Structure 1
Amino acid sequence: MVTLLERINEVLFAAVLIVSFSLLAYIVLQNWRSDIVRALGVLLAGVIIAYSGDLLLARAQRPETVEFLGRAQWLGIVLVPAGYIHFANALLAFGNANTLAQRWRRSVYLAYLGSIIIFLLVALGTNLVIHTGMPSGPVAQFQAGPLFWFYVVFFVVAAATALIAILTVRRSALTPSQRRRLSYLSATFAAPGIGVFPFLLVASPSAAPISLILALQAIASVIVIVMVTIMTYSVAFQGMLIPERLIKQDFVRWWLYGPFVGITTILFIQAVPVIAQQLGLPPETLITFGVMVMTVLMPIFVTQAKPYLDALIYRQDHSEIDYLRNLPRNMFTRADLRALLENSLVAICNPLGVKTGFVIAPGEDGFSIKALWGSRREVRRFVTEHPIANLIPQLDAMPYDASASLDSGSFVVIGSFCLLPLRSPDGVFLGAIGLEATPEQLQRNGGMSTEMRRMVTGLAHQIELALTTAQMQRQIFDALRGLAPEMQSLQQLSSRLEQATPSTLNAIEDDIVLHPDFPQLVKDALTQFWGGPKLADSPLLGLRSVRRVLAEQGGSPTKALQAVLRQAIANLRPDDQIDPSAQEWLLYNLLEGRFLRRQTVRDVAHRLAMSESDFYRKQRIAIEEVARQILLMEEHEYENSTGRR
């Protein structure tokens, strides 16, 4: 029985390690700038160190190894009370109990100093805190020293301090969701303490059977796994301005890919010797096959489980999320469009005996060749002699009759090519199919027979449908890009309101970047960058980043706002190694030329080789990027001002 319980405890120690390390890595990557998260990181680090010592001690054989590991493990044991005091102070600062938090800030440094002193007393081999006792199996290796009771008082005070801080902040919480998270936290904050406190130094192991002690250790490990997960979820994302549904989704996925896979692997490895003994096979053989099977099955299981977990997370938004999840498979992308145009062009040219053809279609930079079949040299020569920009008006001016049948008169002869205009059902010009042949050649090759006309007409209609669909998708995506700043502002406003306290409500109301018309305010300020009422009286003068540089600009709010706008544009400047024709450079050059150099729309459009209508579309996208950069700058100032780094 004792042997079985020892094996169970080893598995659970490893499970606690995997869960704690996974959660620590996750919160560090996601929200390390938050002081609450840094304090939580200290608590998790203490759990990791303490349980690492327990796992190694269970296998240690030599007395000197036991002595070293038992003392080294105290680094984690002494970190937890200091982490609790740090955690309490960070929570009070987050709840804007500033006076109390500042008063306790010094206690954080004293707590860490006291922890270091206690650890040094242990690590240096003194018997003031602990001393080597009579080893009795897997549970009792040390006895309490005279200063151990000082550590117990320190631990209890630290844990009580954390609980008081949680209850204080919970009373000031305004929203049900924040109170719910703090209730979770108050119920689970003791997890690190349960995991690391050396209970056996307080109660002698001889007072209870070894099997009972091992069973209680196993139960405690399970409790720690559950509680530390809930505790981390409760506070790890405080200060992050993203919807709770995204927090839940990211957290669950991380738990699946990290702790779940790790614990399953540990359980399998621990079960291998038993299975190998029953089957009479070498354990190494089973491990090889097991690793092969689990490498394949675990990703499949996680992938299959994710939709069901998402369904629990998105109970109210299930239909929308399902649609968005399948959207990438149903989209008609640029690659899909190119493939359809090329295949349709081949299907038209081959039966007609045409050796070279192309399709002209619109894109982000105007009309261009989107598909080509045959000789690239001939197409390049044709485009050189007849620029596409000159062909479009001529093709667009052709009479359109949706009921007219396709014949040789439907083509426009330009040079050595016949061009067939493509139109949407309501007659909007979409592009053209170009075939290297004359109408007579098409007629002579049998291209205008009834069957051939039906085939070419059908393929042309498919191309028209594809171009119409691609154009509609582009308009939808442009609309979504235009809504992105507003949606982001609304999400951030919702998150701040969810985490608000009475003292932060006024700050939220005055936060300009959360207003839905923030991008328009940025556009107005850029339009009158060099002077005007939209700059001098802009609400953007209240930005934190503007107030920060006010002194550097001689106390002039207008100059400070100009400096912030100039910095936001400079942040958009791409790396010199990026292709000068890339979208990033186009947007940056547009902003610099139009607003910083005061060039006219015509001059900037000419320099960037685009039409004026395309210029205004690009300018809207560029201004949205400037607004996004200012938003990032404001978030940085907000984090600095509140200490959430």
Structure 2
Amino acid sequence: MVIVYSGDVVLPQVNWDENWLRFQWIGIALVPAAYLHFTRAVLLAVWLRQDRVKWRWIIRGAYLSSVVFALLALFTDVLVRPPAEAEPVSNLQPGPLFALFTLYFVIATLWGGWTLLQARAHVRTHTARRRLSYLLWSFVAPGLGVFPYLILVSGGGASNPELILILASIANVLVGIMLVVMAYSVAYYGVLAPDRVVKRQLFYFILRGPVVASIVVALIFTIPKVEAILGLPPDTALTFLVVMTIVLAQILIYLGQPWIDRFLYRNEMEEVTWLRMLEARLMTSGDLSQFLENVLVTLCNVCEVDRGFVALPGEGEARLEAVVGDEEEARQVLALPETQRLLTTTQPDSAFHQVNGYVVRCLVNRHTDENMGILALHASCPAAQEMDEETATVIEHLLRRAEIAVEDRRLQLDVFEALRPILPDIEIMQALRGAVPYVIAPEAEEESTEALTRRPEFTEWVRGALTHFWGGPKLSKSPLLNLRIVREKLTEYDNSPTRALRAVLQEAIEHQRPPGERQMTTSEWLLYNILDLKYLQGKKVREVAQKLAISESDLYRKQRIAIAEVARTLAEMEAAAQNGGKEPEGPRSEVRGRHDSGSTVPPPH
């Protein structure tokens, strides 16, 4: 359709219209094949099945036929012939094979409609049936928009060109509306996002794309006619108004977003508003550091000091979350016994403590009275009795904001930790294809198990199995159970696939263990320690980050790398099993000893 409508735009501007009319036939000829391909894809999306070989060849044959018709239209006169006379509305004349192409076009369109009727008969939900009903009446848009009807009427363009142009304009508007409905009907198939997200993205795409583009095109054709009114040269006026239109359109869309969302989410506006507010207010590790730094800078200005820091406790060692001034000096003060005592005390107070030229204040969780960290300022702040009331109020307000930020961030990490395991399940729920496995023929089963490690989802399967290492559906129902290396271990584990997979995963983790004595803070041991602490020992993210003396954001990045390494090792082990049992070779494959005994015990519940 893009090719056909591009030709319609160009034709009034050129003299060699016959060449452009023939060029349009590339798009016209491909529409029947595209109909068959598109409607078959919709049917398969509804059925959740793989296509049969026979249908693949039928669609390939349709595309081949369309290419042949396009070549005949471009280079011969057997399908279409040159115009008999120059007409205001240009159109080619029918050739000997035009009737054959018309029959092919009609059959493909009717066949596509019948396929959509089959798809509609297979759906069981009211929403899916409604969308396919929309698709049934809108899918004829390509046929209505591109078929050369004037060829069927001799002299159709010359008899009444004004009427033809009016009818064509009305048809183009209707085709545009039908294409939007068509896109809406099929936009939900094969995507992982919820329906509300797809609907919103489609609506805003139409506003920011076709609507703005249509306004700009209207300006391009209108500005030369109002030159005298504007009092500007046409090029200057056009440039100014086009830029202004594009910018103002984005501003208006942004300002109208609440009303648009209220229209799109009529029945769930309250929940959507809450989700948007949650997204805007969530705080990352970088956000926390920046916020604490802003609070620290303000406190330094209020107390008229030039140095300070905020430190949060860790299982291994405390970490500086924000620093103003000399970072090395802050680390030295942080290492002092008195500072460490304040940082780790279980009975924090709200008083300022003098430590080596700094005043140190504990950050206290007001709900649990737990010590969350310390804030230190160089030199002495005025004593409470020497401060004016306004200054004391400002200092307490800033300290309270720092405490709330740290407290909220810790709560958010707990929420993230709870949500992280269910995210893959949410994606599977949205992608219906993943919920219904394809039926694999017996002769293809062996080939499928060999290709398992090459699937793009393989690393995600490994991550899911590790997440449920000590029990859960991502382990007991994992596709990794079909690996040869897992089946070979069944006899060793009483024919329990879950225990066999757990043993294989543990062996793959052992391949990541470097030689020598285990270290908790060296980079060489980092990946293995993450795998052992997080998955084998079942520790929480915060505990692992503290034990390894790294930030939580860094831990998530390294965790992805560690899981990818385990997936790579499993793929090598599977390939070795397929090739006769040769051990995989890798930078850490020379170490085969079992890890610390603590990691072989299930985590406490």
Give the whole-Å Cα distance in 2 for the aligned partners of 1:278 and 1:429. Answer: 71
Cα displacement string for residues 135-190 of structure 1 (whole angstroms, at most 9, x for unaligned residues) = 43342331000100000000000000110000001011011111111111001010
Partner of residue 302, structure 2: 347
Give the whole-Å Cα distance in 1 for the aligned partners of 2:189 and 2:498. Answer: 34
Return 5+ residue gaps in structure 1 as ranges. Answer: 1-46, 403-409, 504-517, 528-533, 573-580, 634-645
Q: Any conservation in 2 of the 1:357–1:373 contact (CA below 8 Å)? A: yes
State the secondary structure of the residue aligned to 1:239.
coil
344, 351, 376: which is aligned to 1:434? 376
State the secondary structure of the residue aligned to 1:610.
helix
Equivalent positions of 1:8-47 (< 5 A) are: 47=1
Matched, 1:313 2:264: yes
State the secondary structure of the residue aligned to 1:434.
strand
Q: Any conservation in 1 of the 2:314–2:546 contact (CA below 8 Å)? A: no
Percent of matched pairs sharing the same residue: 28
158, 175, 178: which is aligned to 1:224? 175
Partner of residue 594, structure 2: none
Q: Any conservation in 2 of the 1:175–1:499 contact (CA below 8 Å)? A: no
Q: More displaced, 422-431 or 107-116?
A: 422-431
User: Shift of residue 563 of structure 1?
Assistant: 10
User: Shift of residue 566 of structure 1?
Assistant: 8.8
Partner of residue 462, structure 1: 398
User: Shift of residue 88 of structure 1?
Assistant: 2.9
Give the whole-Å Cα distance in 2 for the aligned partners of 1:607 and 1:198. Answer: 69
User: Shift of residue 590 of structure 1?
Assistant: 3.9
Q: Any conservation in 1 of the 2:531–2:559 contact (CA below 8 Å)? A: no
Partner of residue 252, structure 2: 301
Give the whole-Å Cα distance in 2 for the aligned partners of 1:91 and 1:287. Answer: 43
Give the whole-Å Cα distance in 1 for the aligned partners of 2:50 and 2:362. Answer: 74
Paired AA for residue 432 in structure 1: I
461, 466, 471: which is aligned to 2:407? 471
Paired AA for residue 198 in structure 1: P
User: Shift of residue 206 of structure 1?
Assistant: 3.7
User: Shift of residue 364 of structure 1?
Assistant: 11
Q: Any conservation in 2 of the 1:587–1:622 contact (CA below 8 Å)? A: no
Equivalent positions of 1:244-643 (< 5 A) are: 244-276=195-227, 281-327=232-278, 333-334=287-288, 335-348=290-303, 350=304, 356-361=307-312, 367-376=318-327, 378-386=329-337, 389=340, 391-393=342-344, 395-397=345-347, 400=349, 410-425=351-366, 426-437=368-379, 447-452=383-388, 455-456=391-392, 459-460=395-396, 462-486=398-422, 489-490=425-426, 492-493=428-429, 496=432, 522-523=465-466, 526-527=469-470, 540=475, 542-544=477-479, 546-547=481-482, 549-550=483-484, 561=501, 588-594=527-533, 610=547
Q: What's the TM-score once normalised by structure 1's chain length? A: 0.69
- Say if 1:356 and 1:139 are closer, same or farther in 2 by CA, change over 3 A: closer
- Say if 1:588 and 1:260 are closer, same or farther in 2 by CA, change over 3 A: farther
User: Shift of residue 545 of structure 1?
Assistant: 5.3
Cα displacement string for residues 460-505 of structure 1 (whole angstroms, at most 9, x for unaligned residues) = 45313431343124313431442244255246426639999999xx
User: Shift of residue 115 of structure 1?
Assistant: 0.8
State the secondary structure of the residue aligned to 1:451.
coil
Give the whole-Å Cα distance in 2 for the aligned partners of 1:625 and 1:178. Answer: 41
Q: Any conservation in 2 of the 1:519–1:623 contact (CA below 8 Å)? A: no
Paired AA for residue 78 in structure 2: L
84, 88, 100: which is aligned to 2:39? 88
Q: What's the TM-score once normalised by structure 2's chain length? A: 0.73
Give the whole-Å Cα distance in 1 for the aligned partners of 2:50 and 2:545. Answer: 56
User: Shift of residue 68 of structure 1?
Assistant: 1.7
Paired AA for residue 168 in structure 2: Q
Matched, 1:57 2:11: yes
Give the whole-Å Cα distance in 1 for the aligned partners of 2:72 and 2:560. Answer: 60
Q: More displaced, 230-239 or 203-212?
A: 203-212
Q: Any conservation in 2 of the 1:311–1:318 contact (CA below 8 Å)? A: yes
Paired AA for residue 468 in structure 1: I
Q: More displaced, 241-250 or 477-486?
A: 477-486
84, 97, 120: which is aligned to 1:170? 120
Give the whole-Å Cα distance in 2 for the aligned partners of 1:461 and 1:586. Answer: 43
Partner of residue 48, structure 1: 2
Cα RMSD over matched residues? 4.8
- Say if 1:283 and 1:128 are closer, same or farther in 2 by CA, change over 3 A: same
Q: Which has the higher contact order (CA 8 A, sep 6+)?
A: 1
Give the whole-Å Cα distance in 1 for the aligned partners of 2:43 and 2:363. Answer: 66
Give the whole-Å Cα distance in 2 for the aligned partners of 1:151 and 1:546. Answer: 53
Equivalent positions of 1:33-182 (< 5 A) are: 47-61=1-15, 65-96=16-47, 102-124=53-75, 126-182=76-132
Partner of residue 602, structure 2: none
State the secondary structure of the residue aligned to 1:526.
coil
Give the whole-Å Cα distance in 2 for the aligned partners of 1:363 and 1:250. Answer: 42
Partner of residue 515, structure 2: none
- Say if 1:620 and 1:316 are closer, same or farther in 2 by CA, change over 3 A: farther
State the secondary structure of the residue aligned to 1:179.
helix
- Say if 1:110 and 1:474 are closer, same or farther in 2 by CA, change over 3 A: same
User: Shift of residue 540 of structure 1?
Assistant: 3.6
- Say if 1:78 and 1:206 are closer, same or farther in 2 by CA, change over 3 A: closer
Cα displacement string for residues 489-523 of structure 1 (whole angstroms, at most 9, x for unaligned residues) = 246426639999999xxxxxxxxxxxxxx999734
Give the whole-Å Cα distance in 1 for the aligned partners of 2:192 and 2:24. Answer: 37
Give the whole-Å Cα distance in 1 for the aligned partners of 2:23 and 2:126. Answer: 43
Q: More displaced, 167-176 or 268-277?
A: 268-277
Q: Any conservation in 1 of the 2:33–2:59 contact (CA below 8 Å)? A: yes
Give the whole-Å Cα distance in 1 for the aligned partners of 2:504 and 2:208. Answer: 41
